[in-house]
Amino acid sequence: MLSFREEIPITKDLIYFDNASTSLMPKTVLDAMNEYELTARANVGRGIHRLSQISSQIFWDAHEKTKAFIGGEDGLCVFGKNCTEAINKVAYGMSLKKGDHVITTLLEHHSNILPWIELRNNGVLVDFITPDQDGYLKPEAFEALICKNTRLITFTHVSNVLGTVQPVETICSLAHDYEIKTLVDGAQSVPHIPVDVSETGCDYYSFSSHKMLGPMGIGVLWMKEPDLKPMIIGGGSITKVSADGYALEEGYAGYEAGTPNVTGAIGLRAAIRILSDLKMDNVRGHETKLTDKLVDGLSGIDGIRVFGPTGNERRVGVVSFLINDLHPHDTAHHLDDQFDIMVRSGDHCCMPLMTHLGLPDGTVRASLYLYNTDEEVDIFLSAVRELSEGI
């Protein structure tokens, strides 16, 4: 696992603990994208010449590899810009109308809150589940809010602030007992734990390439059934157009109008190949050991408040904390400036959660990935202890 660091030269110069935001990208992924651009660059699905045919085949294979990686071979994989766009595709593709009801949570990233607030302006009813202090969503809280007009339950698989892993299978099973669709935000789960959408039982699942060793600018929406109305239509998504109307392509093409990010798809496919070779159980095990060490170490330093669950079965390597009364941004600045350690600070695009937790300035967030090491955690803990004692 640790020899993988050779693929990411920047790890020699600094400690990168901001993986919940964006992971670092291995040279292998960049090489795959460069090779495509230099040898096979062409648009997909609309050309007869060899480069277009090669591009189309590679692009198709990227969809297939992505589906297989999350156990979604029986569903449809649609590419877009990011997880945010994927969530919006569901929000607007369901054609929700006035009086329809959506249940989401205060734990969500803004990307899984703002579309529902916007639809609320059109008469859609929206309720928010409140997590407990560890960021855990209780299935019975969802059931208490279900009504005859509930069309969708949407929630995050893993909290990007507290690292809490949610009972996805239980919540999705509950929703389906009432014939309600489910959308799961997998941005923080797919890169870090084994995910099988056939077991989770969700209808829609979203995630982003840039958090899982891949390039920025490409995300994924997996659908159990192609039952959404496309949010955008245009060239590449149709089979026939006349002055009287049009017919959409079947499969992912019907949801990917315009020239897609083919190079990004190549990079995502390369990243998935790396993660598949490493095996996600191994990634999970490596991160769990580091997370235990990080949480235990922080908890043993005077003046440190650590947030989130304590058991490693209920969390991933996303650890939020505060040092005494030091502002989170000051902590992040000192860690960077004095110790070459990169962390995130602030509200982490989760203002409703921060309000619920009584943290107006947010937290400091250290988030781990497969290329982080025991030695880096030791250095980090030493730096935090020094900052804490210096206040």
Token pair recorded at residue 280:
């996600």
Q: What is the mean pLDDT of the chain?
A: 96
pTM check: above 0.75: yes
DSSP 196-214: -HHHH--SEEEEEGGGTTS
Domains 2-26+280-389 and 28-277 share a fold: no
Query: What residue segments make up the domains of the chain, in order of their start?
Result: 2-26+280-389, 28-277
Q: Rounded to a whole number, what is the largest CA-CA distance in the chain?
A: 73
| Catalytic option among 147, 172, 202, 349 | 349
CATH topology of domain 2-26+280-389: Aspartate Aminotransferase, domain 1 (3.90.1150)
63: Cβ contacts below 8 Å, ≥ 6 apart: 77, 79, 252, 265
Structure confidence by residue, pLDDT tens digits, 65-85: 999 999 999 999 999 999 999
Clarify whether 172 is annotated catalytic: no
The single residue listed with the structure tokens 């291995």 is 26
How many Cβ atoms are within 10 Å of 167's Cβ, its own excluded? 14
Token pair recorded at residue 214:
């891949």
Q: What CATH number does domain 28-277 carry, 2.40.50.140, 3.40.640.10, 2.40.30.10, 1.10.357.10?
A: 3.40.640.10
What is the rounded distance in angstroms from the CA atom of residue 137 to the CA atom of residue 156? 10
Contacts 24+ apart (CB under 8 A), 277-283: 278/1, 278/4, 278/370, 280/193, 280/194, 280/195, 281/194, 282/1, 283/1, 283/192, 283/193, 283/370
What is the rounded distance in angstroms from the CA atom of residue 240 to the CA atom of residue 183? 31
Average pLDDT (327-353) is 97
Which pLDDT band, with edges at 50, 70 and 90, does 390 fall under? confident
In this predicted structure, the answer to whether residue 2 has a pLDDT above a threshold of 50 is no
